[in-house]
Amino acid sequence: MLHPAAVLLDEPFTSLYILLKRETLVLWEGLVEERRLPTLCVTHDPRDAVALVRNTS
């Protein structure tokens, strides 16, 4: 499926090194904003949660 209606992420950044995590978060934020994708992200890392919602409206 190339154009999903929504996305579910389950601990997507857990095992990434910090620099790769930052780059991936920036790319993901761009995709979500550009395509206006409803996204549910499950995480136990508060920093990941804050990074994902800081630019959400």
pLDDT digits (tens, 9 = 90+) for 1-57: 578 889 899 998 889 999 999 899 889 888 888 888 888 889 998 888 887 776 555
**Of residues 43, 56, 49, 47, the one with CA closest to residue 12:** 43
Copy the structure tokens of residue 45.
Answer: 């890392």
pTM for this structure? 0.71
Contact status, residue 28 vs residue 56, Cβ threshold 8 Å: no
Rounded to whole angstroms, the Cα distance separating 34 from 57 reads: 13
Which residue blocks in the chain are alpha helix, DSSP H? 18-35, 46-53
Judged by DSSP in three states, 45 sits in coil
